[in-house]
Amino acid sequence: MSLHEVFRDCATRRSAALIGYLPAGFPTVPDSVELFRAMVRGDGDTPGCDVVEIGIPYSDPVMDGPTIQAASGEALRNGFRVRQLFDIVSAVAETGAAPVVMTYWNPVHRYGPDAFARDLAAAGGLGVITPDLVPDEADEWLAAARQHRLDRIFLVAPSSTERRVAMTAGAGSGFLYAASVMGVTGARDSVSGSARELVRRTRAHTELPVGVGLGVRTAGHAAEVAEFADGVIVGSAFIDRAGQDGAAGVAEFAAELGRGVGKSSTPAP
Amino acid sequence: MTARDSDASRQAATPGEADPHGHDPDPGGHFGSYGGRFMPEALIAAQDELAEEYEKARNDPEFVAELERLLRDYAGRPSPLTEVERFGAHAGGARVFLKREDLNHTGSHKINNVLGQALLVKRMGKRRVIAETGAGQHGVATATACALLDLDCVVYMGATDTERQALNVARMRLLGAEVRPVDTGSATLKDAINEALRDWVANVADTHYLLGTAAGAHPFPLLVRNLHRVIGEESREQVLRHTGRLPEAVVACVGGGSNAIGIFHGFIDDPEVRLVGMEAGGHGLDSGEHGAALTSGTPGTLHGARSYLLQDEDGQIAEAYSISAGLDYPGVGPEHAWLADTGRAEYRAVTDDEAMHAFRLLSRTEGIIPAIESAHALAGALRLGAELGPEAVLVVNLSGRGDKDMDTAAQYFGLVPEAGITGGDQR
Ligand SMILES: Cc1ncc(COP(=O)(O)O)c(C=O)c1O
């Protein structure tokens, strides 16, 4: 299934897509596969994530707050290597969820953008989210991703001008990642009002689905965001939950969030 | 060819003024395949704003005059060019001239960049300035400009560096800045930059990130270089005045590359002048413990630009090492990458021991205690002088003074029996 189809099916079921992030290899490679599976499984009543964001742990994660920094650092200390990413992607693809990779640009640059796109597509990956690669610098990546039929998921931010939102929407595919606040990743107590406004501005330029991330922590937040966005992205809160309650906790939390975004017998309002 | 060595052919451009010689990057900030903007979208608007404001400012006579006034009356420019004969005797007998950036207010070249950017902050109507610092020189310079221009100032500094540069921490605090030690990653300069970027993305509406070197995303490499070009322009005039000719080589240390690019640009259109950058060789390139991004790194993206950097096979950034905090950085500004590839400039590495030898030598022969960063350039001059012989004229950028390094030097040479001079715990 393509990302396009995932979002279409969620829309048909009148739910937003639930997009969950964890770093690959956190805390170890086998453990992370368990966590990703749990994130998709949910509980007996409600399934979990539709899209799984597999993060490549990176030495210098400038867009990440303390939670993801710590988890990525742990994965690296436990020996995570980029080549192990592809098996993790395959394992996620087998669950039936849509795997995408979230990565800073340098690891891809180093691997070789074309080789990276080729190996990711072969493993069943559908696209890549690039938090520090803007379309202005992405010619090589766009060519590689097109060649290997991967979606190019770029970010828009509250500070993006109309011109940049339009340009970014034009270069992207799959979905657009709307950063809800000006800031780094990390669970927050409330979802900023700027998210709704950014989604509205983005929709004026594109038919692409818009996912909202940064700071979503509870099923309540997820429900709030699902009212105005096509996808709800949760990262740091999954890491916290994994740290507290392991895979069982992640599965349970995914189901709670799933109900939040509208995955139950009662359609979302 | 026109008289390249006559003063009249090359009026020194005013600091911050449009480059009359055309070495600017393309509009996206690319020097060849290097540079650009590998940055979160959230910060692009601020980078655009800065680029636009700088374009206006560099063509605004009022801004240019104000910056000139501050550089002259506050920072003490022009800095002298000092011939060092006794030191030169150890450099194959070459005539060695030191560009005395150590005599600037706050003790290093960093003040040139800081005053220019702080004036831009005022123009943009922002109130808060953040900065990273390694040796503490840029932090001190930033805190100084913020005190002068009434701006709030937060300086991020790796926890390792707050220890080895304790005096500079005290200086920044005295000047009213808040110093935030950073203990993530390697707890040095690169991590301080990461933390500053995280702050910036959250506070960009009222905050300027006053980057301290000619690296980072466009327009920083261009902006910082132009603000330091005054070093090279003065040097060229001065060396012509002293010797009636151009030097064989211009030598500077390279951390992020700001003092080097500044002095190089005074001579970049003089192809007969070799431009030589000295990187931190640490314990030697083979030891893996160094900061020599150009000499032994590979291309990649770090802190917003494509350039050479120290990284592993997976593109994870390696931890740099140098005895000098200001060179302890795994990346380098993109224009240096371009100059290295095109061959216009050459880069070499100097070990801790070579640098410390030059540090003591200059102190003993000339009564000038250099910053350990600058001692890398001096060590380079000792080598180049030996290669080029007594006919050669060398201009060395003495980017800073060594007061901040006395703990490290005392430790290295065993000058003080107990702990360091400041009583800090020295490794
Ligand atoms: C005296 C001195 N020289 C050189 C440097 C290295 O920086 P850059 O390469 O940007 O000149 C520093 C940095 O802190 C410094 O303090």
Q: How confident is the model at residue B308 (pLDDT cuts 50, 70, 90)?
A: very high
B114, B183: one domain: yes
> Per-residue pLDDT tens for B163-177?
878 889 999 999 999
Share of chain B above pLDDT 70, in %: 93
Q: How far is the CA of A157 from the centre of ligand 1 (A)?
A: 34
Statement: residue A267 has pLDDT above 50? no
Cβ–Cβ pairs < 8 A, chains A and B: 111
B127, B76, B128: which is closest to B106 by C-alpha? B76
Statement: residue A13 has pLDDT above 70? yes
B190, B273: one domain: no
Last residue of a domain, one of B196, B220, B244: B220
pLDDT at B151: 98
Which of B40, B194, B303 has its CB closest to that of A155?
Answer: B40
Statement: residue B16 has pLDDT above 90? no
B281, B407: one domain: yes
Look up tokens 């709307």; give the residue: A178
Q: How confident is the model at residue B421 (pLDDT cuts 50, 70, 90)?
A: low
> C-alpha angle B107/B112/B117, rounded to 5°?
130
Answer whether residue A267 is part of any domain.
no
Answer whether residue B9 is part of any domain.
no
pLDDT at B3: 38
Look up tokens 């039936």; give the residue: A96
Answer whether residue A266 is part of any domain.
no
Q: Residue B132 forms beta bridges with which residues?
A: B156
CA distance B42 to B377: 38
Answer whether residue B1 is part of any domain.
no
Lowest mean pLDDT: which of A25-34, B388-397, B405-414? Answer: B405-414
Answer whether residue B420 is part of any domain.
no
Give ligand 1 pocket residues (Cβ under 6 A).
B 108, 134-135, 137-138, 213, 253-260, 326-327, 371, 373-374, 399-400
Statement: residue B21 has pLDDT above 50? no
pLDDT at B129: 98
Chain A residue numbers touching B205 (CB-CB < 8 A)? 182
- Residue A30's region, left for phi above 0, alpha for psi from -120 to 50, else beta, is alpha
Which is the closest atom of ligand 1 to the Cα of B101?
1
Answer whether residue A269 is part of any domain.
no
B183, B141: one domain: yes
Q: Are A199 and A229 in contact (CB under 8 A)?
A: yes
CB contact under 8 A, A106 and B44: no
> Per-residue pLDDT tens for B197-214?
999 999 999 999 999 999
> Per-residue pLDDT tens for B131-181?
999 889 999 999 999 999 999 999 999 998 898 788 899 999 999 999 999
B132 is known as an active-site residue: yes
B91, B56: one domain: no
CA distance B99 to A6: 64
Give the residue numbers spanning the domain of B370. 81-107+225-413
pLDDT at B12: 42
Last residue of a domain, one of B176, B203, B220: B220
Answer whether residue B13 is part of any domain.
no
In chain A, the residue whose alpha carbon lies closest to the alpha carbon of B37 is: A137
B90, B115: one domain: no
> Per-residue pLDDT tens for A203-227?
999 999 999 998 889 999 999 999 9
Statement: residue B424 has pLDDT above 50? no
Last residue of a domain, one of B220, B255, B277: B220
Q: Are B133 and B192 in contact (CB under 8 A)?
A: yes
> Per-residue pLDDT tens for A113-147?
999 999 999 999 999 999 999 999 999 999 999 99
B188, B298: one domain: no
B176, B101: one domain: no
Q: What is the CATH number of the domain that holds A249?
A: 3.20.20.70
In sequence order, which residues have a C-beta less than 8 Å from that of residue B349 and are 6 or more positions away? B278, B279, B280, B281, B285, B290, B292, B295, B296
pLDDT at A156: 97
pLDDT at A186: 74
B170, B303: one domain: no
Answer whether residue B65 is part of any domain.
yes
State the total domains in chain A.
1
Mean pLDDT, rounded, for B310-328: 95
B152, B298: one domain: no
Answer whether residue B15 is part of any domain.
no
Give the three-class secondary structure for A14.
Answer: coil
Chain B residue numbers touching A160 (CB-CB < 8 A)? 41-42, 44-45
pLDDT at A180: 84
Give chain A's radius of gyration (CA, Å). 17
Statement: residue B271 has pLDDT above 60? yes
B60, B398, B2: which is closest to B234 by C-alpha? B398
Answer whether residue B19 is part of any domain.
no
Alpha-carbon gap: A184 to the closest alpha carbon of chain B (Å): 6
pLDDT at A189: 66
Which of B28, B190, B301 has its CB closest to that of A109?
Answer: B301
Give the three-class secondary structure for B82.
Answer: strand
Answer whether residue A44 is part of any domain.
yes
Give the number of other CB atoms < 10 A from CB of residue A210: 23
Mean pLDDT, rounded, for A35-47: 95
State the total domains in chain B.
2
pLDDT at B185: 82
Mean pLDDT, rounded, for B346-364: 98
DSSP state letter for A229:
-
Answer whether residue A42 is part of any domain.
yes
Q: What is the mean pLDDT of chain A?
A: 94
User: Token pair of B261, please?
Assistant: 């690019």
Question: What's the predicted TM-score (pTM) here?
Answer: 0.93
Q: What is the mean pLDDT of chain B?
A: 92
> Per-residue pLDDT tens for A64-123?
889 999 999 999 999 999 999 999 999 999 999 999 999 999 999 999 999 999 999 999
Q: How far is the CA of B16 from the centre of ligand 1 (A)?
A: 20
* Full 3-state SS string of B234-295: HHHHHHHHHHCCCCCEEEEECCCCHHHHHHHCCCCCCCCCEEEEEEEEECCHHHCCCECHHH
Answer whether residue B11 is part of any domain.
no
CB contact under 8 A, A137 and B300: no
B295, B386: one domain: yes
pLDDT at A191: 64
Answer whether residue A102 is part of any domain.
yes
Give the residue numbers spanning the domain of A197. 3-261
CA distance B151 to B177: 9
B276, B242: one domain: yes
Share of chain B above pLDDT 90, in %: 86
Q: What is the CATH number of the domain that holds B171?
A: 3.40.50.1100
